[in-house]
Chain A
Amino acid sequence: MTANTAAVEATGVWKVFNPDQANQVIALQDVTLRVEQGEFVSLIGPSGCGKSTLLRVIADLTEPTQGSVQVAGLGAHEARQQQRYGIAFQQSALFDWRTVRRNVELPLELAGWSKAQRMKRALELLDLVQLSDFADHRPWELSGGMQQRVAIARALAADPPLLLMDEPFGALDEMTRERMQNELLRIRMETGKSIIFVTHSIPEAVYLSDRVVVMSPRPGRITDIVPVSLGTRNEDTREDAAFFAGVTAVREALRGHEAATAGRARTGEV
C-alpha cells in the first residue's frame, strides 16, 4: 500500500434490490467516493438514503449490483477475508457468554493468534478504550456506552487500517453520546485509523468528520460533500461559530435537496 492508495475507493457503485420487479428499489445509484488514509468521513441522510447499504457494500457484507469497491488497494472481498477493516454496529453485538476481554479477542481468534498474544493485545485495547478494570466482567454488567467501547476495541483488535461504524452511538443518551464522540476522536488520534461513520445526527457528523457526505433517498445517491475544518476538537468546539457554520451547511445540503425533490414532484418530473 503506497502513500497515495485510498483507504476506500468506491467507483460507480449501484445496488438494486429486486431488479426488474414491481418492488424494485434502487438503494445506491452510481455512487463514487474516495476516502483518504487517516480521513474521517461521515455518511448522513434520511432513512432509506442508502448510507448503511453503502457501508455494507464497502464491508463486503452485500455485493454491489454494479461498480467496484477497493479497500486499502484490495478488492472488498479480499479486504474482508484479510480483516482489513473493523466494524461496529448500533447494537454492540457482544457475546453474552464471553467476558469483555474474550469479546475483544474474537477477531484475533478468527485470525489464528495464539492465546497469550490474544490476551496481551485485548488488554492493550481495553486500556485504549479505558475499560481495563472490566476485562473479566460480562457484557450485560456494562452500561450501553461501555458496551459500545468494547465493540470499538473489538473492531480495532486485529489492527485494521479502516474502521466502519454504522450508527454506533445511535442508541445512547445525549450526554454519553458526546463523551463517546470525544473518545472516538482520541482513539483516532492515537491510532491514525481511517473511519467511515454512518449517522443520523448533523452535529455528530460535523463534530467528528473531515468531510460529511450528504445522501438522499429514492434513489439513494450522494448529493453533496461538505468539508469541515475545525482543527483539534475539544468541548469548546461544540459552541464554536465554525461548528455552527458546519452544522448549517450540512443542514442546508440536506434540505436543499429535499426542496429540489419537492419542486420536481410538483412539476411532475421524476
Chain B
Amino acid sequence: MAGRLRFLWPPILVAVIFLGAWELLVRAKDIKPFLLPAPSLIASNFTKDVSLMFGAGVYTATTALLGLALGTLVGLMLALAAQRLHVVNSLITPLAAGLAAVPIIALTPILNNMFDITTRTPRVLISAIIVFFPIFVNVTRGLIQVRPVQVELMRSMNARPRTVLRLLRVPNALPFFYTALKIAAPLSVIAALVSEYFGGPQEGLGSRIASSAANSNYGRAWAYVLSAIIVGLVYYLVVLAIERWTTPWTGHAQRA
C-alpha cells in the first residue's frame, strides 16, 4: 500500500511548501485579507461554516452533475450518429467547433430569459453545452479511428456494422471517452458555478462567493472557492476511478 501511495508524496510536498510560503508571505508583509487572505484564515472560515459550505457545494455539484449527464448523453448520441453517417459527421463537427468558440458562459443571461430564472434549468443547460463539445469530438474520433486491420478482421468474420460497433468501435472509443470526461467533469463544475453570477437562486457556491466578496467577507469567499475546488476534484477523481475500473487495458505500453 505504501508503494502504491508513493506517487502522492511529491504533490503533497509541493502543496505544503506552497501554502507555507503563502502563509509566511501574508504574515511577513502584513497583506490585507481583501488582497490575499492567509491559508489559515481560509481554513478557519471553512471549518467554522462547514455545513454552509457543504449545502452550497451540494447545490452547485447537483447542477454540474445534471449538466454533465445531459451534455454527455447528447455528445454520445451524436457521436454514434456521426460514426455511422458521414453526412452527420461533416455537418455536426464544424458546428461543434463553432459552438466551442462561443463564449458560452456569456449566454447565461439569455438562457435565464428563455428558461425559468428561478430554477436551475438555465445553469444545467450552460453546463451541458460546455460538456458536450469535448465528449462529442473525442468519442467520435475514438469510434472512427480504429485500426484498419481490425476492421478487415471483423469483415473476414462476416461481422455486421452493428457488431463492429459493439465489439470494436465502442471499446476502442472508451479511453477517448474517459479522456474527454476528465476534462468535462471539472468544466461542468466551473460552468455551474459561474452561471450563478447572473442571478437566479442564491444557494450555490457561485452566488455565495459573489455575496461574501460583496460583503467584504474575503476569508469566507475564499472558503467557498476552496469548496468549489473540492467539488471539481471529487468529480475528477470519481471519473478516474471509473476509468481504472472499466478500462483496465489502458495505461499500459501496448500497440506494437
Q: Which residues of A pack against B, CB within 8 Å? A: 59, 61, 80-83, 85-87, 89, 91-93, 95-97, 106-107, 109-111, 138-140, 144, 147, 158, 171
**Using a CB-CB cutoff of 8 Å, which residues 150-177 of chain B contact chain A?**
150, 152-159, 163, 167-168, 171, 174
Could you jot down 21 A-B contacts, CB within 8 Å?
A: A82-B158, A83-B157, A83-B158, A85-B156, A86-B156, A87-B156, A89-B149, A89-B152, A91-B149, A91-B256, A93-B147, A93-B149, A95-B167, A96-B249, A106-B157, A110-B154, A110-B158, A111-B157, A138-B252, A140-B253, A140-B255
Q: Are B150 and A93 in contact (CB under 8 A)?
A: yes
A81 to B155 CA separation, bound complex (whole angstroms): 9
Q: Is A147 a contact partner of B156 (Cβ separation < 8 A)?
A: no
Contact present for B158 and A81 (CB under 8 Å):
yes
Answer yes or no: B254 CB below 8 A from chain A CBs.
Answer: yes
Interface presence of B216 (CB below 8 A): no
Q: In the assembled complex, how far is the CB of residue A81 from the closest CB belonging to chain B, in whole angstroms?
A: 5
**Contact (A171, B158) CB under 8 Å given A91-B147, A93-B147, A97-B249:** no
Chain B minimum-CB-distance residue to A94: B150
A95-B256 CB under 8 A given contacts A59-B156, A106-B157, A138-B249:
no
Q: Other CB < 8 Å A-B pairs besides A89-B152, A93-B149, A97-B247, 17 of them?
A: A59-B156, A61-B152, A83-B157, A83-B158, A87-B152, A89-B153, A91-B149, A93-B147, A93-B152, A95-B167, A96-B250, A96-B254, A96-B255, A110-B154, A110-B157, A138-B249, A139-B254
Interchain nearest-CB distance for A12 vs B (Å): 24
* Range of interface residues on B (Cβ < 8 Å): 20 to 34
> Which of A82, A93, A111, A144 has the most chain B CB atoms inside 10 A of its CB?
A93
Which residue of A has the minimal Cβ distance to B247?
Answer: A97
CB <8 Å contact, B158 and A80:
yes
A92 — which chain B residues lie within 8 A by C-beta?
A: 256
Distance of A207 Cα from B243 Cα, bound (Å): 48
Residues of B within 8 Å of A139, CB to CB, are 254
| A144 contact set on B, CB distance < 8 A | 256
A174–B63 Cα gap in the complex (Å)?
A: 60
B residues near A95, Cβ cutoff 8 Å: 150, 167-168, 171
- Cα-based distance from A111 to B255 in the complex (angstroms): 27
Looking across the interface, which residue of chain A has its beta carbon closest to that of B159? A110
